[in-house]
Structure 1
Amino acid sequence: MLVARDLEVRAGARLLLEGASFQVAAGDKIGLVGRNGAGKTTLTKILAGEGQPVAGTVTPGGQVGYLPQDPRTGDLEVLARDRILSARGLDAALRRMRAAEEQMGSLEEDVREQAMARYARAEAELQAGGGYAAEAEASRIASNLGLPERVLDQQLRTLSGGQRRRIELARILFSGSDTLLLDEPTNHLDADSVLWLRGFLQTYPGGLVVISHDTGLLEACVTKVFHLDANRAALDIYAMGWKRYLQQRETDEKRRKRERQNAERKADQLLTQAAKMGAKATKAVAAQNMARRAERLLAGIEGERVQDKVAKIRFPEPAPCGRTPLTAVDLSKTYGSTEIFTGVDLAIDRGSQVVVLGLNGAGKTTLLRILAGLETTDTGEVRPGHGLRLGYYAQEHETLDTSRSVLENMVSASPDLNDTEVRKVLGSFLFTGDDVDKPAGVLSGGEKTRLSLAMLVVSAANVLLLDEPTNNLDPASRTEVLEAIRSYAGAVVLVTHDEGAVEALDPDRVLVLPDGTEDLWSPEYADLVALA
């Protein structure tokens, strides 16, 4: 059981949470919700032991499995299978078994005997941790997350960002931890994998705290909802499922509004009466008592909820360019012995809309990185056309300099704007006051998304390369991004699992990887979006 007592959480000088106490017991399925930037990710890091509260304590009470929004995969040279098995410490035993197997073929008898002894010891250690059944279980979890055996036998460095994140999710699910803390676990999952994950979490015997903008997952899995209210720095606990929570929260907000109005009306009456009585010396004490009663009335109620702000997102007016600002000819990419794609040709005309489809690992992100000039192609070339100005949104936010502040990142993307203009744009993306001085590395996934989008807005790009631009966004912010895509006048190359984003783009062409097949868009392709 994970227990938190009297937590106070801050981001710099900003108070995120105060006086929060709660527990996560075996079988609890908790949805942690609240607007982007409210502090959900910060709180989860503290529960995972990767951060410290300003005040209060967290007692884990068992093993905690934590999936952050931006997972650190450690050594990229290890095999994907070994990374998953490391959750139970089985990777070391398997590596020793493989090494011993190689020496068991030696012509020297002493070497063979020593290798056989090492193999037996390593196999015994493997059996103690669940044996080959555990290895099969790890493979089964990975397969259900869209990671076939061939991927598990590759080094992590050869995998896409989405594949590496699914490896980390598989590792956490395989760990069998007493408590799971999952921050946006459905990112990079196709529709079948999301359905499987829902079923897995529904029957998981341990405790669960999940942050997700996937309402289907929340509706299917959670039995409690923790709402982190950014306006009140409070954690509201609802011991009910998702649908009942939505109804109850609306009821609570209406109640708070009525209480506020009633208290303000009574306080006004008391203050008016106190002002009349205060003019008479004989009534001065009574007037002071009335004024104090009015103050207590106002202090004793919760403030009316301020409507959560949403970033106003409009992509830039594209700079003038030639008829075909970007062309790719005969692109191919291989990692080690694994061929990702080959012979890809693509011409991006001014104002055209192209959606890139393909199964996870087909090379969609790699293609966008090549087009953006961040990765090299093995064959062929990318040819910039007249007046090309590229804007690249990376799903892993690797275009952000995490060691620099929010303001410094923005200035690097908009050298033509002065400090006041840059701050004005940041303000429209909800970065105000001290927020602009925070290092980009401490931002939540949603905040990194907002900063990356803000940098695109000031870029004057005429070709946007968008890789999963709606990940990590709350529903209101996602709506803003979709409207920005819909109204943008420049060219767009879009990679997404979000059917709404494709609908907003209204593509004229589709590129299917890894074959590199290009075709005119038709409704038949829409069914492939969620599966891609």
Structure 2
Amino acid sequence: MAIDAQGLEIRIGARTLLNPTDFHVTKGDRIGLVGRNGAGKTTLTRVITGETLPSAGTVRVSGTLGYLPQDTHSGDQTRSALDRIMSARDIDSIVRRLRKAEHEMTNPDPDIMSKAMNRYDKAMQDFETTGGYSIQADATVMAHSLGIEQEVLKRPLADLSGGQRRRVELARILFSQADTMILDEPTNHLDADSIEWLRDYLKHFAGGFLVISHSTELLDEVVNKVWHLDAQRAQIDMYSMGWKAYLHQRVVDEERRRREREVAERKAERLLKQGERLHAKATKAVAAQNMIRRAERLLQETSEAQRQEKIADIRFPEPAPCGRTPILATDISKAYGSNIVFAGINLAIDKGSRVVILGTNGAGKTTTLRLLAGLEAPDTGEVKLGTGAKIGYFAQEHDTLDLQDSVLGNLQQVAPELNDTQARSILGSFLFSGDDAFKPAAVLSGGEKTRLALATLVTSRANVLLLDEPTNNLDPASRQEILKAIAKYEGAIVLVTHDEGAVKALQPERVLLMPDGDEDLWSDEYLDLVAEE
């Protein structure tokens, strides 16, 4: 019931994400893995789970391991949400046997009916042996605690919103009773009540877990250890303490490293001066060269240690000219199968307007953005684009990215007029430098995919931005950059978010309440709904 890593080294191309490192996760360890976006946190979890091979070293996992990745795309989209959760304990296969036998028991052929009844009896026996209805009830209760209602559990995964699918995957991992868990941004798409329930669950979890989260409230309440992945040094600084104590100790450690750098710089300066004096004497030339080399190594090390962690330079484009109403939606509705998401929605997006869409998970917020973006067609009504309308769409599930193409290729798909130098310059401002430009989008972390999707918006000259949870998966510094970009953008923005800071940066004029489609002038009283939805 543990994770044991020995000499683990991770490299992506020429870049080292982690120098050879030993670590151990065992029962009772509640570890928060932190570090800036792109440091390699998600890559580290993929190596631990065996999705990616390390450059060197080994990872051994004993007991069962549950893994919640940032991007959750389960295979069979036709199965129900409840079946997906139950599959964590292989109950879903028994349920499918029961359903198949039930269907065949209606066959008029006596022989087929008799065999089906026997299979049904055997499947029911297996169902009861594994806990049967009580386990199914447990799964339903856990799903409800994470905001998944009974009606949603019956629907196929294909009919669920991104937020609902994310909750289903989290419920599945928790329901699996794994000895050790790795959770990558588990609070994404959770409302306040679900986050509170998750915090309590993790505080009382008997096994060990490693959690990546930008929620300082979650880290403060649940972790007893903090691992900081330092992108500059490619090392994990391990702190056997809670979140607040870690924050204090990290300040102390950074000050100590600063003093050590100053001592090293003074030593290097003395070595250079001695080397220069000795260099004039032929008999001391070798000693002089050794001193100069030592000084250069010291200066190089201090220079690397002093490099500031870079922040993405996020600036939304200057909008292209357009008419008075770039988007007009009239009496639109959408249903998936028998599930009517919403009906009779009317919305006009005027030039430079700022609208926030609020509603519970599954109320149709993302679907509304996709209809406005033209990625889906409404079942009734129509969406018309006005004169000069140019739409930029940011998808919370990064659906707009071509995962098989490279980082550079994704940008050039959107802006083919850019040459390699121009495209790489834009990517550099979003922290994709050197060989990073040639990485396939599929291997990027959630934060890196967010930055790449935002980079594609920069080239678009869009005059309407449709933003679906744009601050998810971002470290605090990058999040602040997006909030500044939202505040400064002169075009129209339609925003879906659970982030109160993003709404405040937007300063919306109107609010659209889903699924009813009621429109109202914005009031700060609606802020209370943002994090709750």
Query: Which TM class, normalised by the smaller chain length?
Result: over 0.9
Secondary structure of the equivalent of 1:403? coil
How big is the shift at 1:413?
Answer: 1.7
Question: Relative to 1, partners in 2 of residues 1:105 and 1:437: Cα closer, same or farther, differing over 3 Å?
Answer: closer
Equivalent residues of 1:352, 1:508 under 8 A apart: yes
Equivalent residues of 1:256, 1:302 under 8 A apart: no
Q: Distance in 2 between matches of 1:283 and 1:109?
A: 104
Q: Distance in 1 between matches of 2:31 and 2:303?
A: 25
Structure 2 match to 1:409? 410
Q: Distance in 1 between matches of 2:186 and 2:338?
A: 30
Question: Relative to 1, partners in 2 of residues 1:134 and 1:386: Cα closer, same or farther, differing over 3 Å?
Answer: same
Structure 2 match to 1:447? 448
**For each residue in 1:359-394, what CA deviation from the matched residue of structure 2 results, as whole angstroms up to 9, or x when unmatched?**
000011011111111111110000111110000000
Matches within 5 A, 1:48-447: 48-104=49-105, 113-280=114-281, 303-447=304-448
Question: Relative to 1, partners in 2 of residues 1:200 and 1:280: Cα closer, same or farther, differing over 3 Å?
Answer: same
**For each residue in 1:151-190, what CA deviation from the matched residue of structure 2 results, as whole angstroms up to 9, or x when unmatched?**
1101111111111111111111100111111111111111
Q: Distance in 2 between matches of 1:299 and 1:326?
A: 55
User: What residue identity is the alignment partner of 1:57?
Assistant: T
Equivalent residues of 1:260, 1:303 under 8 A apart: no
Q: Distance in 2 between matches of 1:289 and 1:160?
A: 64
How big is the shift at 1:531?
Answer: 1.6
**For each residue in 1:262-310, what CA deviation from the matched residue of structure 2 results, as whole angstroms up to 9, or x when unmatched?**
1221232233234334544676677577667757867998952421111
Structure 2 match to 1:480? 481
**For each residue in 1:418-460, what CA deviation from the matched residue of structure 2 results, as whole angstroms up to 9, or x when unmatched?**
3332222111111111111111111111111111111111111
Equivalent residues of 1:253, 1:305 under 8 A apart: no
How big is the shift at 1:34?
Answer: 0.9
Secondary structure of the equivalent of 2:305? coil
Secondary structure of the equivalent of 1:304? helix
Secondary structure of the equivalent of 2:178? coil
Q: Distance in 1 between matches of 2:20 and 2:354?
A: 50
Structure 2 match to 1:529? 530
Alignment RMSD: 2.0
Q: Distance in 2 between matches of 1:458 and 1:221?
A: 41
Equivalent residues of 1:6, 1:55 under 8 A apart: yes
Percent identity, please: 62
User: What residue identity is the alignment partner of 1:183?
Assistant: D
Q: Distance in 1 between matches of 2:410 and 2:289?
A: 54
How big is the shift at 1:106?
Answer: 5.9
Q: TM-score, normalised by structure 1?
A: 0.96
Question: Relative to 1, partners in 2 of residues 1:48 and 1:519: Cα closer, same or farther, differing over 3 Å?
Answer: same
Q: Distance in 2 between matches of 1:21 and 1:508?
A: 53
Matches within 5 A, 1:459-474: 459-474=460-475
Equivalent residues of 1:218, 1:242 under 8 A apart: yes
Equivalent residues of 1:142, 1:167 under 8 A apart: yes
Question: Relative to 1, partners in 2 of residues 1:283 and 1:464: Cα closer, same or farther, differing over 3 Å?
Answer: closer
Of 234-243 and 460-469, deviating more is 234-243
**For each residue in 1:318-371, what CA deviation from the matched residue of structure 2 results, as whole angstroms up to 9, or x when unmatched?**
111111110001111111111100000000011110100110000110111111
User: What residue identity is the alignment partner of 2:406?
Assistant: S
Question: Relative to 1, partners in 2 of residues 1:387 and 1:180: Cα closer, same or farther, differing over 3 Å?
Answer: same
Secondary structure of the equivalent of 2:62? coil
**For each residue in 1:457-505, what CA deviation from the matched residue of structure 2 results, as whole angstroms up to 9, or x when unmatched?**
1111111100000001000000000010011111111000001111110
Q: 5+ residue gaps in structure 1?
A: none
User: What residue identity is the alignment partner of 2:510?
Assistant: R
User: What residue identity is the alignment partner of 1:101?
Assistant: E
Q: 5+ residue gaps in structure 2?
A: none
Secondary structure of the equivalent of 2:427? helix
User: What residue identity is the alignment partner of 1:379?
Assistant: T
Secondary structure of the equivalent of 1:494? strand
Q: Distance in 2 between matches of 1:299 and 1:486?
A: 40
How big is the shift at 1:36?
Answer: 0.7
How big is the shift at 1:405?
Answer: 1.4
Equivalent residues of 2:9, 2:20 under 8 A apart: yes
Q: Distance in 2 between matches of 1:164 and 1:401?
A: 21
Equivalent residues of 2:233, 2:305 under 8 A apart: no
How big is the shift at 1:211?
Answer: 0.8
Equivalent residues of 2:430, 2:452 under 8 A apart: yes
Q: Distance in 2 between matches of 1:305 and 1:178?
A: 40
Structure 1 match to 2:490? 489
Secondary structure of the equivalent of 1:504? helix
Q: Distance in 1 between matches of 2:279 and 2:442?
A: 57
User: What residue identity is the alignment partner of 1:484?
Assistant: A
How big is the shift at 1:11?
Answer: 1.6
Equivalent residues of 1:357, 1:510 under 8 A apart: yes
Matches within 5 A, 1:27-38: 27-38=28-39
Q: Distance in 2 between matches of 1:280 and 1:320?
A: 72
Question: Relative to 1, partners in 2 of residues 1:450 and 1:110: Cα closer, same or farther, differing over 3 Å?
Answer: same
How big is the shift at 1:149?
Answer: 0.8
Q: Distance in 1 between matches of 2:458 and 2:338?
A: 39
